[in-house]
């Protein structure tokens, strides 16, 4: 019994996902890459995800929408939110999800990543969910397997389902993106969350400000649809949402890290700096957060201002929608 009906007639064409790369991806370079989601497709995913929000609040959270489907979680980097929410999403839809313990896999015996992926592909999975430190790896894998591939974060490059869940969280509060001003603050250079959010939020019509220390702003930032600031007071002016980022220590190798207290004083969000934004502005953070480094601990836990836990809840809904859309799309192409 399907608990959630999906109107296939209202679907936009997902050729970009199914035909070329079978991948959910939102590239940093909006000019060069032709495989990115367009506004209509992003809105469609958000609408589909909305259907799962109430479902996820039910006492019994079980559907058979993806019964008998096989999904692999392949995480080559640490994760709490993304890995577990994909697992919860898949299981709530009735799919079988296999968590591959990468640290115990044959990669340790010298097998290449692509050999591992083609081995798993021979087991006829429907979706591979991949997190890996190498930029663009999901796309390379996608070119070598029949299964759909979801990019769950590739290096400093992209984290598309994070940006989609952030957009859903914002949509729940504001509905209309075209009137919104959103600040993304902190370590922009090393943040895949920032890149995917800039693309998705600007496509939905929001005005995006990025704020961070000069050394953590990408060289080509001016080519993106953003206003750039190094000063929190100026950058937060008129903002409805303040999205904080973690300092990506694991990607800052061989460079001097700022003193945490000095960084917090200049770029950490607390109640005082939040006053620079609109009166009732909301605070977001993709997690994991470093309390007292990029965000004040009390503010992070203040449910009147912070949407951080709501983001986690929306992560499950978005990932349910992504899995459902990708697999249904694949069925149309492959016609089992
Ligand atoms: N936001 C995010 O990607 O969190 P995890 O690293 O815990 O998956």
Query: Which mutation among 86, 163, 288 tests ligand 1's pocket best, with the greatest number of atoms within 8 A of CB?
Result: 288
CA triplet 121, 123, 127: central angle to 5 degrees? 55
Pairwise CA distance, residues 100 & 36, whole Å: 28
Nearest CA to ligand 1 atom 4: 81
Ordered per-residue pLDDT tens for the chain, 336 residues: 333 333 334 444 444 333 333 445 433 222 223 457 889 889 999 999 999 999 999 999 999 999 999 999 999 999 999 999 999 999 999 999 999 988 888 888 889 999 999 999 999 999 999 999 999 998 889 889 989 899 999 999 999 999 999 999 999 999 899 999 999 999 999 999 999 999 999 999 999 999 999 999 999 999 999 999 999 999 999 999 999 999 988 888 777 788 899 999 999 999 999 999 999 999 999 999 999 999 999 999 999 999 999 999 999 999 999 999 888 877 765 544
Query: Which mutation among 82, 87, 192, 314 tests ligand 1's pocket best, with the greatest number of atoms within 8 A of CB?
Result: 82
Pairwise CA distance, residues 328 & 14, whole Å: 11
Give Cβ neighbours of residue 90 (< 8 Å, ≥ 6 apart): 66, 69, 71, 96, 97, 319, 323
Beta bridge partners of 154: 132, 158
Backbone angles phi, psi at 155, to 5 degrees: 55, -135
Nearest CA to ligand 1 atom 6: 79
- Ligand 1, residues at Cβ distance < 6 Å: 79-82, 153, 159, 162, 286-288
Nearest to 323 by CA among 95, 40, 132, 140: 95
Q: Given the CA of residue 82, which atom of ligand 1 is nearest to it? A: 8
Nearest CA to ligand 1 atom 3: 82
Ligand 1 mean position, distance from CA 288 (Å): 6
Q: Given the CA of residue 159, which atom of ligand 1 is nearest to it? A: 3
Nearest to 64 by CA among 295, 324, 336, 335: 324
Ligand 1 mean position, distance from CA 1 (Å): 32
Ligand 1 mean position, distance from CA 79 (Å): 5
**Structural element, H or E, at residue 182:** strand 181-185
- Asked if 63 contacts 3 with a C-beta cutoff of 8 angstroms, the reply is yes
- What's the sign of the alpha-carbon dihedral 278, 282, 287, 292? positive
Q: What is the structure's pLDDT at 219?
A: 93
- pTM score, whole prediction: 0.90
């Amino acid at each position: 019994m399907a608990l959630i009906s999906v109107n296939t007639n209202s679907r936009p064409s997902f050729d970009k996902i199914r035909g070329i790369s079978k991948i959910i991806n939102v590239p940093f370079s909006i000019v060069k890459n032709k495989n990115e989601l367009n506004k209509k497709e992003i809105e469609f995913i958000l609408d589909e995800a909305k259907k799962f929000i109430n479902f996820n609040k039910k006492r019994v959270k079980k559907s058979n929408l993806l019964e008998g489907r096989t999904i692999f979680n392949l995480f080559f980097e640490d994760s709490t939110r993304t890995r577990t929410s994909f697992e919860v999403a898949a299981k709530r839809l009735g799919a079988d999800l296999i968590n591959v313990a990468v640290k115990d896999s044959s990669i340790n015996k010298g097998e290449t990543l692509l050999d591992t992926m083609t081995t798993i592909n021979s087991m006829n999975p429907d979706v591979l969910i991949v997190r890996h430190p190498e930029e663009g790896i999901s796309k390379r894998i996608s070119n070598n397997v029949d299964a759909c591939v979801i990019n769950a974060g590739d290096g400093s490059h992209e984290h598309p389902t994070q940006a989609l869940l952030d957009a859903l969280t914002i949509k729940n509060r504001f509905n209309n993106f075209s009137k919104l001003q959103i600040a993304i603050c902190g370590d922009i250079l090393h943040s895949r969350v920032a890149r995917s959010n800039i693309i998705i939020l600007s496509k939905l019509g929001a005005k995006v400000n990025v704020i961070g220390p000069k050394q953590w702003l990408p060289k080509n930032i001016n080519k993106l649809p953003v206003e750039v600031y190094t000063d929190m007071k100026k950058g937060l002016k008129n903002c409805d949402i303040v999205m904080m980022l973690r300092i990506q220590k694991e990607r800052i190798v061989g460079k001097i890290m700022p003193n945490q207290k000095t960084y917090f004083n200049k770029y950490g969000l607390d109640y005082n700096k939040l006053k620079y934004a609109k009166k009732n502005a909301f605070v977001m953070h993709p997690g994991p957060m470093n309390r007292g480094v990029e965000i004040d601990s009390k503010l992070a836990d203040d449910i009147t201002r912070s949407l951080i836990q709501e983001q986690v809840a929306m992560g499950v809904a978005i990932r349910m929608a992504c899995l459902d859309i990708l697999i249904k799309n694949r069925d149309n192409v492959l016609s089992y």
